[in-house]
Structure 1
Amino acid sequence: MAGIFLSILGYSMRNVIAHRCDLSYEETERILSGIKEVVYNNVSHAPVELTKEQKTLLGKLSIEL
């Protein structure tokens, strides 16, 4: 049941992001697909380097990583 909820939530978030940034769903998915975070056992984290497109998209959404 949780998997279904998370799938619907992810789908809805992608649609909202695409609408707010005036992008197609496919383009939004392509840009967001590279954003990941690695979490280590000692609670530190190492986010990956963001592309220019990803930084622009996150800036439009007022999200800071």
Structure 2
Amino acid sequence: MSITQQYLLDSYRARLHGEPEPPAPGRHDLDLARELRDYRRFRAVVDERPARGRLRRTLARWLRPRALG
């Protein structure tokens, strides 16, 4: 059963019982991503690491050509 089918079934059951419908699939994904980003930044500050730009700096270090010799 797909997520959409499960959502439709849950919505149907909720209507039969007079309960509120469940949230649509994916409705809160963006909020979750923001909360995760904020939590990771918070943990970086608490652990005394740079809170921003860590990914870009790491990629630049990996992709930087190394001098031979």
Greater relative contact order (CA < 8 Å, ≥ 6 in sequence): 1
Relative to total residues, which structure has the larger helix share, 1 or 2?
2
TM-score range, shorter chain: 0.3 to 0.5
Relative to total residues, which structure has the larger strand share, 1 or 2?
1
Give the TM-score, by structure 1 length: 0.36
